[in-house]
Amino acid sequence: MDSEALKKYSALHPKPAGLTLHYGTAGFRTKAEQLDHVMFRMGLLAVLRSKAVESVIGIMVTASHNPEEDNGVKLVDPLGEMLHPSWEEYATQLANAEEHDLEAVISEICRAAAVEQHKDASVFIGRDTRPSSKKLSQSVIDGISVLGGQYHDYGLVTTPQLHYLVCCQNTRGQYGKATLEGYYEKLSTAFTALIKQCPSSGESPRHLKIDCANGIGALKLSEMKPYLPKEVLIELYNDGTKGKLNHLCGADYVKVHQKPPAGLDMKPHERCCSFDGDADRIVYYYKDAADRFHLIDGDKIATLISIFLQELLAKVDQTLEMAVVQTAYANGSSTRYLEETLQVPVHCVKTGVKHLHHKAQEFDVGVYFEANGHGTVLFSKAAEGKIRQLAKEEKDEKSRAAKVLEHTMDLINQTVGDAVSDMLVIEAILALKGLTVSQWDAIYTDLPNRLLKVQVADRRAIGTADAERRVVMPAGLQENIDALVQEYQLARAFVRPSGTEDVVRIYAEADTQENADALAHKVSLAVYHLAGGRGAPPQP
């Protein structure tokens, strides 16, 4: 390690006094002007991680669905997965180290993680369309260069594309070609093969309106358009030419406000969807004949995909086990439908994509989605081998079903939730099953629900267990919630501390919207009084 070069470059990326940041599920995220030193230091960390695992590591500069003035950074591990939890701790230490301690912290990480400094290091870099992203990715490059790492800057890419590129590189092309063209070709080839199986293929084109959140998704869908078959007509809205990133648009806005984005004109029964700012989440929606808005969130996306995969697996191999992974935020109706009607095992884990991804890896086929529209499907190596083998065999019903499964597997980005890939999977399934958007929506009816948050003095006052569905501290709060839930039909409620700020998030569902609202309010009062609420008590 060149101490002088480190000192010199570190001085060009000084840490603001008194700023402490924490690497969470979404990496680091805050106002863009506070991130220069963090970007430089994550360049350093990516080199150390690359040396430790002797593989390419990814760095994505994005703040996803946050406002345009924010930015963030997250590291991508060798198979396109999120950074290993033990290294999240190193990221936090390095980001918060004082300038004069930087070299000592790097040496300590090398010691703790058995990093051999003489090894080669290689990093892939990507960024979103925020005004601050280009300059911040340059700070990443400075950090990589100081420690002698190699890098490839892919420039503007969606977050899932960077995850895909890292995985392709480290599997030496087994997962695909580590280029954007390779990504477009792999997905479009699989999608075209599926669409060709449709009974009505070639009749009328399939229309889809896409709200791109004024983000990177618009650029990348425009690049991908020429690869897609003529049967599919996608129209892009909020494409970044005039609006602000994530402002009154995007998947998060549509999900939270339960209404269509600005800048997209909807006619009854038109299929529409929204990406978020870095294109790793997707939600669908439509208006019915009475002009009522209907949201189709991650729970219903997971259900549609599960129905489709279950039918194919039944024809191909009865022994392959499929399961769905959800969080406590999943609507009770979706869990009930999956378990009782489809008879698919459902597992509940803590909030955060890494927890869902980890659990889904335990099954032959693991479907996971958060209600916010972030999710994908994972196929075990054994399941993949079996499906590909059967697809090669003589043309009977089993091999035909295996072939459809194989194309579906190739269309899914198994590294991470990917709005582009998920959209094509959904479009293919709707076409193959001949379903309209309202028929899909009618599979089950969501229970009315309400999300609230309560400001508290210290979020650590709340402790949870059972995948965040039960409160273990403060004393008396869970008993209080249990008693409140008993007052309503089909009711459920839970509370959990935010991972980033001193607020407690509250979720309640019940048989009517009025009851869900009332239950959420009563639970928020219990949290306020028992867990150190700040400011005025919550109002109904």
Tell me if 500 is assigned to a ligand binding site.
yes
SS3 91: helix
Tell me if 408 is assigned to a ligand binding site.
no
Distances (CA, A) of 389 to 220, 315, 319, 383, 405: 33, 15, 15, 10, 12
Q: What is the dihedral of CA 250, 253, 256, 259, to 10 degrees?
A: -90
Q: How far apart are CA 113 and CA 48, in angstroms?
A: 9
DSSP structure class, residue 83 = P
Secondary structure, 3-state, 393-442: CCCCHHHHHHHHHHHHHHHCCCCCCCHHHHHHHHHHHHHHHCCCHHHHHC
Instruction: Exactly one of 3, 10, 55, 64 is catalytic; name it.
Output: 64
DSSP secondary structure, 360-379, as one string = HTTSSEEEEE-TTS-EEEEE
Q: How far apart are CA 365 and CA 367, in angstroms?
A: 7
SS3 100: helix
**All residues at 6 or more sequence positions from 216 whose CB lies less than 8 Å from its CB, including other chains:** 62, 128, 129, 156, 157, 158, 277, 278, 279
Q: What is the dihedral of CA 339, 340, 341, 346, to 10 degrees?
A: 0
Tell me if 498 is assigned to a ligand binding site.
yes
Q: Which of 319, 323, 325 is nearest to 386 (CA)?
A: 319
Task: Name the amino acid, one letter, at 473.
Answer: M
SS3 295: strand
Tell me if 372 is assigned to a ligand binding site.
yes
**Is residue 421 flagged as an active site residue?**
no
Report, in angstroms and rounded to the nearest whole number, the Rg of the chain calculated over CA atoms: 24
SS3 238: coil
Q: Are 152 and 124 in contact (CB under 8 A)?
A: yes
Tell me if 496 is assigned to a ligand binding site.
yes
Q: Which helix (H) or strand (E) holds 327?
A: strand 322-327
Tell me if 497 is assigned to a ligand binding site.
yes
Q: How far apart are CA 189 and CA 534, in angstroms?
A: 55
Tell me if 280 is assigned to a ligand binding site.
yes
Q: What is the dihedral of CA 149, 154, 157, 163, to 10 degrees?
A: -50
Binding site: which residues? 64, 276, 278, 280, 370-372, 496-500, 505
Binding site for Mg(2+): which residues? 64, 276, 278, 280
Binding site for substrate: which residues? 370-372, 496-500, 505
Q: Which residues are catalytic?
A: 64
